[in-house]
Amino acid sequence: MSTVTDAFGKARAEDRAALVGYLPAGFPDKSTAIKAALAMAAAGADIIEVGLPYSDPLMDGPVIADAVYRALRGGTRIADVFDTVQAIADAGAAAVIMTYWNPVDRYGTDAFARDLMNAGGAGLITPDLTPEEAAPWLEASDSYGLDRIFLVAPSSPEHRIAEVTSVCRGFVYAVSLMGITGTRAAVSSGAAALVRRTREHTALPIAVGLGVSNGDQAAEVAGFADGVIVGSAFVRLLADTTDPAAAVAAVRDLTADLATGVRHR
């Protein structure tokens, strides 16, 4: 049983949704990114997604894309991503890596899985990897006991949802709307329907991502999903606050607001 499964189990026992927070490694610098992730965990985030900076972030909106670019320009490497995961795991929180597939493939799938396990990571979220192309990752994740989180979307037909969920482990990532990442003024009206459709194919927890930026929205999503994923809102705080200590404090405050939201669904 992974730390991700434990986190969802704890949330379910407390009759609430799990809070999943995202931050890219190395932004605005390695030390601040780690401090922000630890603050997020301390303030109520159940699972931390560590973004692996990549030069072609197709799904990411301008906030995250700019942060990833700045992380790469600052010299962030895969070793720094593993260090970030290690710090989160050492603090007792569940950590997964969010990554496009190319960096894993170039690193070596088995080697990446081994090093992720050694860092205490629970698994990978792979937004651009399809089940048909995932055989090396399925094998490596089985070998090292890692979770594999694939995405379903409002456009996914029933047979596709069945295919995707059949290879997931840990949880299923439900993209609440079509398009790139970013905060939204309101939760997508199709999110609840997607969760209902996905539940017909799996008993795994289903977490909804894309658009949540405050406690009220988190409470709304927590009313129908097992997990609430927040990314751009956190990254914007780090981007807009020049003082590292103030940025970390802002991340902590937003996490606390979101954590309250998932407890008042």
Span 143-188, pLDDT tens digits: 999 999 999 999 999 999 999 999 999 999 999 764 444 444 445 5
- Domain CATH for 212: 3.20.20.70
pLDDT tens-digit profile of 33-45?
999 999 999 999 9
The average pLDDT across 44-64 equals: 92
Number of domains in the chain: 1
Burial (CB < 10 A; 0-12, 13-18, 19+), residue 97, is buried
Residue 265: inside a domain: no
Q: In a 3-state reduction of DSSP, which class is residue 47?
A: strand
- Residue 22's domain comprises 3-260
Residue 35: inside a domain: yes
**Strand ordering across the sheet containing 47-51:** 147-149, 123-125, 94-98, 47-51, 18-24, 227-230, 206-209, 172-175, 151-152
The average pLDDT across 216-236 equals: 96
pLDDT tens-digit profile of 99-131?
999 999 999 999 999 999 999 999 999 999 999
Q: Are 195 and 174 in contact (CB under 8 A)?
A: yes
Model pLDDT, residue 234: 97
Instruction: Please count the other Cβ atoms lying within 10 Å of the Cβ belonging to residue 195.
Output: 20
Model pLDDT, residue 177: 60
The average pLDDT across 34-61 equals: 94
Confidence of residue 59 (pLDDT cuts 50, 70, 90): confident
Model pLDDT, residue 35: 98
Confidence of residue 195 (pLDDT cuts 50, 70, 90): very high
Model pLDDT, residue 188: 56
DSSP assignment of 159-228 equals HHHHHHHHH-BS-EEEE-SSS-----SS--TTHHHHHHHHHTT--S-EEEESS--SHHHHHHHHTT-SEE
d(CA 85, CA 41): 12
pTM to 2 decimal places: 0.94
User: Please, what is the average pLDDT of the chain?
Assistant: 94
The average pLDDT across 53-65 equals: 88
The average pLDDT across 126-138 equals: 97
Q: Please check the confidence at residue 250 and state whether its pLDDT lies above 80.
A: yes
Model pLDDT, residue 58: 76
Peptide bond into 28 cis (omega under 30): yes
Active site positions, annotated: 49, 60
